[in-house]
Amino acid sequence: MDVIQSSSWSQLEALAKKPFDLASAGALADDGRIGKMVCTSAGLRLLYATQRIEAQTLSALQDFASEHHLVERYQEMRQGAVINRIDGWESENRQVLHTSSRDLFSSHPAEPVSAKQARIEYQKLQAFLDDLGNGTILGSTEKPFTTMINVGIGGSDLGPRSIYEALKAYRIDGRTVRFISNVDPDDAAEVLASTDLSETLVNVVSKSGTTLETLTNEALVRQAFKDQGLDPTKHFVAVTGAGSPMDNPDHYLRSFYMFDYIGGRYSSSSMVGCVMLGFALGFEQLGEFLRGAHEMDKAAANPVLDENMPLLLALLGVWNHNFLGYPTLAILPYSQALHRFPAHLQQCDMESNGKSVTTAGTQVQTKTGPIIWGEPGTNGQHAFYQLLHQGTEIVPIEFIGFLCSQYGLDITIDETTSQQKLVANLLAQSVALASGQAHENPNKIFRGNRPSSLILGNKLDPQTMGALLALYEAKIVFQGFSWQINSFDQEGVQLGKVLASRFLDSMSSRQKSGLSIEKQFLKVLEK
C-alpha cells in the first residue's frame, strides 16, 4: 500500500488544513506548552513547542509511526535485515549496520556478527594508538607523529571532518588533523605547504578503494613524501573495505577495515572516522563519542513517539515537508564548533532521501527528502535570517545549542557572558519566528508561524557529539521508512561519474590534437 493511502496519512492531511497557530495571542505560553513539548534522549533535549502542532497532531503522528511500523523496521535494521534494496530490481542488496560500529558496550549486541567485526577493528585501533602514544611507532626519521592528514571524499571526509571540527577542543596536546578531499590540486598543495611531513601520518580513507579523487590525492601526497626522502610505508595508514584495491598491507603501516553493510555517509563511527578521531582525541574520548552514539541508537528503539527523539524529529520533518508543504530545512547550530555539521547532514540526508522510487520499485506519490542547508548562528543572523523572518518561503529550522561553552574562555559585558548572549539569541530567534510581530508599518510586520525545533545539550563534548550524530542518522532512516524509499543507496551520483570518466578519456586521447573544451563536450555527447 502506498503511504498516501494509509489512514494515518489522511488523518494528518485533515489536520494540516488548520495547523496550530503559533502567532495567536499567548499561543506559546498557553497550557504549559513549552514545558510539555520536550523530549529527552541520550543527554539531549528536543524542545518543539515552536512547531505548528498540538496534542491531536502528535497523536496522529504516533498513529502514523505505528501504522507504518517505523520503530519495528528500525529494530530490524539494527538486527541485520537486508533493507538496502529495491524489490525485483538489481540493487546493492545489503544489510544496513552502521549502528553496529558503536554497539561495543553490551554483551548482547543487536547484531552479533557485525558487532564482533567492529570490536576486532576497535581493538586493533587501540593497540595502534597505544603504539603511537608510547613511541613504539615513529616516522621514517624517528620522530613521533603530531599531525594526521586525512585523505578521503564524500562519506569518507564530511562526517569525520565535521566531528573533528566539533571536538577539536578535546584534542590531545600537540596533535592536529588536516584534510584533503577535493581533486583540485590546490586542496592538497595548501595542506602540504604548511605541514611538517616528517611528523605526519596520512590516513587514506576509501571504502571502495577506487575513488578517483582519493587515489589521485594519495599519489600526490606520497610523491611529496618521496620528494622529501621520507618512506611513505612508515607514514601511511589505510581505512578501506576488505578485498578492495587499497587492501594491500605492503603499502601501509596499518590497514583498518570497514564493511559492505555500512554506507559511506553513515560511516563516521566506523573506522572511517575512528582512526582519525582516535589519533586526535585519544582512545578514551573516542569511546565516549561511540557511547553517546550507541545511547541514541537505543533511544531510537522506543515505540513511544514523544520519548523517542530521532523518531519525533523525523516525523516533525514529515509534517512540515509533506503536510505543510515546506520544501527546505535549515539546520542552524549555535555553536561555532559545529560549523561543518550542516555540510555533513546535507550529504547524509540528501544522498539518503533524495529519491523518487519506492523500495517496491514504483514512482513515489509524495515528496521525499527536503533540501537541507545551514550555517552557524549567530553569524547567520547577520546574513540570511531576513528571508527566514519575512521572506515568502517558509523554512522550518532545527536549531542546535548548548548551555556551556567548550573552552570556558568567556567575558562578561553588561552582566552577561558571551555564552549567555549566544543562547539568548538562539531562544529569541525561535520565539520571533513562531510568534511574529504585528505593526502598523507593513515593512515591519513579522507574520510568525515559522516553525522550528531546538536541540539542546549541556556542552558539546565527545559523548554529546556521538548522540547528535546518531540522532540525525536515525532521523534520516525514519524519514526514509516513512516515504517508503531506500535511504542507503546512491544511484543518483553514478551518471555524473560515468560521464566524467568519458571526458577524461576524451581529454587524454585528444590532448595531442589540442581539441577545445567545446569540441570535447560534443565528442562526449556523441557517444
Record the cell numbers describing residue 514, joined without a space: 589540442
Smaller CB separation from ligand G6Q, 41 or 117: 117
Q: Tell me which residue of 461, 518, 507 sits closest to 166, measured CA to CA.
A: 461
CB of 489 to ligand G6Q, least distance (A): 9
Contacts within 8 Å (CB) and 24+ apart, 210-217: 210/244, 210/245, 211/152, 211/153, 211/154, 211/156, 212/183, 212/500, 212/501, 213/153, 213/181, 213/182, 213/183, 214/151, 214/152, 214/153, 214/156, 216/183, 217/151, 217/180, 217/181, 217/183, 217/187, 217/188
Smaller CB separation from ligand G6Q, 420 or 494: 494
Q: Rounded to the nearest 5°, which phi and psi values hold at 296?
A: -70, -35
Tell me, letter by letter, the H, E, C secondary structure of 232-285.
HHHCEEEEEECCCCCCCHHHCCEEEEECCCCCHHHCCCCHHHHHHHHHHHCHHH
C-beta separation of 180 from 187 below 8 A: yes
CB of 210 to ligand G6Q, least distance (A): 7
* Separation of alpha carbons 400 and 402, rounded Å: 7
C-alpha 423: how far from chain center: 23
CB of 306 to ligand G6Q, least distance (A): 31
The percent of the chain in helix, strand and coil, each rounded to the nearest 5, is: 50, 15, 35
CB of 346 to ligand G6Q, least distance (A): 11
Q: Tell me which residue of 200, 193, 192, 195 sits closest to 140, measured CA to CA.
A: 200
Smaller CB separation from ligand G6Q, 100 or 430: 100
Smaller CB separation from ligand G6Q, 211 or 405: 211
- Please report where in the chains the cell 582519525 appears, as a residue: 276
Give every strand in the sheet of 397-402, ordered side by side. 38-41, 44-47, 452-457, 397-402, 328-334, 371-373
Smaller CB separation from ligand G6Q, 439 or 497: 497
Record the cell numbers describing residue 65, joined without a space: 509511526
Record the cell numbers describing residue 502, joined without a space: 568519458
Smaller CB separation from ligand G6Q, 154 or 448: 154
Q: Tell me which residue of 326, 309, 264 sits closest to 19, measured CA to CA.
A: 326
- Give me the active site residues, please: 351, 382, 497
Taking the CA atoms of residue 330, residue 32, residue 58 and residue 299 in that order, the dihedral angle to the nearest 10 degrees is 70
- For 11, the enclosing helix (H) or strand (E) is helix 7-15
* Separation of alpha carbons 8 and 312, rounded Å: 16
Provide the 8-state DSSP code for 58.
H
CB of 76 to ligand G6Q, least distance (A): 21
Q: Rounded to the nearest 5°, which phi and psi values hold at 356?
A: -125, 0
Smaller CB separation from ligand G6Q, 271 or 422: 271
CB of 158 to ligand G6Q, least distance (A): 8
Chain residues binding ligand G6Q by CB under 6 A are 153-156, 206-208, 211, 214, 263-265, 351, 490
CB of 473 to ligand G6Q, least distance (A): 12
Smaller CB separation from ligand G6Q, 268 or 405: 268
CB of 265 to ligand G6Q, least distance (A): 4
Smaller CB separation from ligand G6Q, 254 or 265: 265
* Separation of alpha carbons 366 and 387, rounded Å: 26
Record the cell numbers describing residue 197, joined without a space: 611531513
CB of 293 to ligand G6Q, least distance (A): 17
Smaller CB separation from ligand G6Q, 264 or 401: 264
Range 238-266 burial, b when 16+ CB lie within 10 A, else e: bbbbeebebeeeebbbbbbbbbebbbbbb
Record the cell numbers describing residue 504, joined without a space: 577524461
* Separation of alpha carbons 116 and 281, rounded Å: 24
CB of 94 to ligand G6Q, least distance (A): 12
Phi-psi region of 451 (alpha: psi -120 to 50; beta: other; left: phi over 0): beta
